[in-house]
Chains A and B, each alone.
Chain A
Amino acid sequence: MSSKPKVAFYWNASCGGCEEAVVDLAEDILQVVEAVDIVFWPVALDFKKKDVEAMDDGEIAVSFINGAIRTDEQREMVELLRRKSGLVVAFGSCAHIGGIPGLANFYNRELIFDRAYRTVPSTPNPDGVLPRTSSDIDDDELTLPEFWDTVKTLDQVIDVDYYLPGCAPPPDLIMDAVTAILEANLPEKGTVLAPRKNLCDTCPRSESKPDKISIESLKRPYEIEADPEKCFLEEGIICLGMSTRSGCGERCINANMPCRGCFGPAEEVFDQGAKGLSAIASILGLEKEEELTDEDIERLIDRIPDLAGLFYMYSLPSSLLRRKKL
């Protein structure tokens, strides 16, 4: 029997990008495979739930779990993995703070089903059939897991030891985390395994950023060709680097796209969306702010539709409000 530490990977409400991130470790993955035994990884290996059930409690050294939680089946699986694992790492934005699937918290099951199965033009469904937890087909019962009204982060469902942020987490942070686990050199429980700085502190554009920026007109990224040397805010494009944790390797910034917050709140930020909103509102029309009427301010703000979706793009389930009450 192998004495290597056992590792599991699991996915929930996610896009598959986190699985891709593991594969993106390239040659480094060989080191990982050398050092550990992967005992469960539905996307790549043929182990089943019953194999996990057959293990002793705590037998898996660490489970890396990606995706938000929004069905009964996902809860059952993460509860099982929690029992069987010494450590659980919330892997990626969706497990950490809710991620893009978390935007569904502006709706509920009924509204989502109605859109996805009835009113969306690309889904012909003349009988208006909706997913059900149980259906009888030719005397057989077919079941589907219950779909929740609310998307939750992993730590709202099970106890989580560490967080690896990002959409998806970058290879260097994954390798740092794996190495720290293998060497038993881990920080305090609950730590986000990424730098403590915010993105603006490490952004290559911050050097040329003027001390004072005043946004005279907000722009959406497609409306202008952004200067790759300038801070996005100078050009009126909302960038959430001030409220977001660094560590992503500035991948979006280097691709000339503004930050949308996938690394979660910077240290000491309680509500990433509210903090981002506050930072942007403060510099809106800053130059002549004394002269602005309330109506002028509204006009400046109204250039951007769906501000809540923008400021809470990745963090709605972990925000103070958590969802819209319908």
Chain B
Amino acid sequence: MSEDPRIVVFCCNWSIYPGLQLSAIDENPDDLPGVSHIVSMCSGRVSPELVIEAFVNGAWGVMLAGCPTDECEHDGNYKTRKRFIMLRKVLEEFGIEPGRISMDWFSTGEVAKLKQSVREFVDRITEMGPARVVKEQELG
């Protein structure tokens, strides 16, 4: 029996999340099994600590859905882009593959694009299986 992947998608409160809510009248944003959407006040607020926390709590992959580069009110997406690229490199040294961390940029209206990206990400992560994170009881 294959397990559903566990995926966290951080969505910006000022663009894609409202879009997702509007479009979700007949479709739950969490309709893909194992995918949780978390609203964030700015993609700049999605710190490397939060991403690591997601992995520690069992996420197989983490996706960031922020505003397109020139649409962010706070320049948070520029900072987060650099942090995520560095985080990928650091986590690779822990054995967590860079492909498990994805970031993409969406305007409010681009719900279809987001859903497509999430679907592709889920497929990729399902193929990869769970992330290599040690659980407390496994520490020898």
Q: List chain B residues, Cβ under 8 A from A282.
A: 79, 82-83
Q: Are B48 and A308 in contact (CB under 8 A)?
A: no
Assess whether A321 is interfacial by the CB under 8 Å rule: yes
- CB B51 to nearest CB in A, in angstroms, measures 8
B133 close to A (CB within 8 Å): yes
Q: Which of A275, A278, A285, A308 makes the CB contact (< 8 A) with B93?
A: A308
CA distance A245 to B86 in the complex (A): 23
Whether the Cβ atoms of B93 and A306 lie closer than 8 Å is yes
B95 to chain A, nearest CB (A): 5
Main secondary structure of the interface of B (DSSP, over half): helix
Can you list, as one digit per residue, whether each of B91-128 has a CB less than 8 Å from chain A (1) or not (0)? 10111000000000000000000000000000000000
A294 touches B85 (CB 8 A): yes
- Choice from A277, A292, A306 contacting B87 with Cβ under 8 Å: A277
Q: Which stretch, A73-81, A145-153, A187-195, touches the partner chain B?
A: A145-153
Task: Considering the complex, give the chain B residue whose CB is closest to the CB of A151.
Answer: B139
Known: A282-B82, A321-B52. A273 touches B90 (CB 8 A): yes
The answer to whether the Cβ of A289 comes within 8 Å of any Cβ in the partner chain is: yes
Q: Does A322 contact B (CB under 8 A)?
A: yes
Quick one: closest B residue to A284, CB to CB?
A: B82
Complexed CA–CA distance, A130 and B114 (Å): 54
Known: A281-B79, A321-B134. A270 touches B49 (CB 8 A): yes
> How far apart are B101's CB and chain A's nearest CB, in angstroms?
13
Could you tell me which residues of chain A, from 232 to 284, have a CB within 8 Å of some CB in chain B?
Answer: 270-271, 273-275, 277-278, 280-282, 284
Asked if A320 and B140 sit within 8 Å, CB to CB, the answer is no
Is A163 close to B, CB under 8 A?
Answer: no
Once the chains bind, are B81 and A297 in contact (CB under 8 Å)? Answer: yes
Q: A325 touching B82 by the CB < 8 A rule?
A: no
B82 (CB) vs chain A CBs: closest residue: A281
Selected from B69, B132, B140, the residue in CB contact (under 8 A) with A290 is B69
Q: Is the Cβ of A309 less than 8 Å from the Cβ of B79?
A: no
Q: A271-B49, A274-B48 are in contact. Are A324 and B93 (CB under 8 A)?
A: yes
Residues of B within 8 A of A311 (CB): 90
Q: Is the CB of B89 within 8 A of A307?
A: yes
A54 at the interface (CB under 8 A from B): no
Q: Determine the distance from Cα of A311 to Cα of B89 in the docked complex, in whole angstroms.
A: 12
0 or 1 for each of A132-155: is its CB under 8 Å from B? (1 = yes): 000000000000000011101000
Task: Render A304-326 as a binary contact track against B, CB cut-off 8 A, 1 for contact.
Answer: 00111101000000001111111
Would you call B47 an interface residue if the criterion is a C-beta within 8 Å of the partner chain's C-beta atoms? yes
A284 to B55, CA, bound (A): 25
Instruction: Check B56 against A277 for contact (C-beta < 8 Å).
Output: no
- A325 vs B56: C-alpha distance when bound (angstroms): 12
Q: Give B residues with C-beta under 8 Å from A.
A: 47-49, 52-53, 55-56, 69-70, 75, 78-79, 81-83, 85-87, 89-91, 93-95, 132-134, 139-140
Known: A149-B139, A281-B82. 19 other contacts (CB 8 A): A106-B93, A150-B134, A274-B49, A274-B90, A275-B47, A277-B86, A280-B86, A281-B86, A285-B82, A297-B85, A298-B89, A302-B89, A307-B93, A308-B93, A321-B52, A321-B133, A323-B94, A324-B93, A325-B94
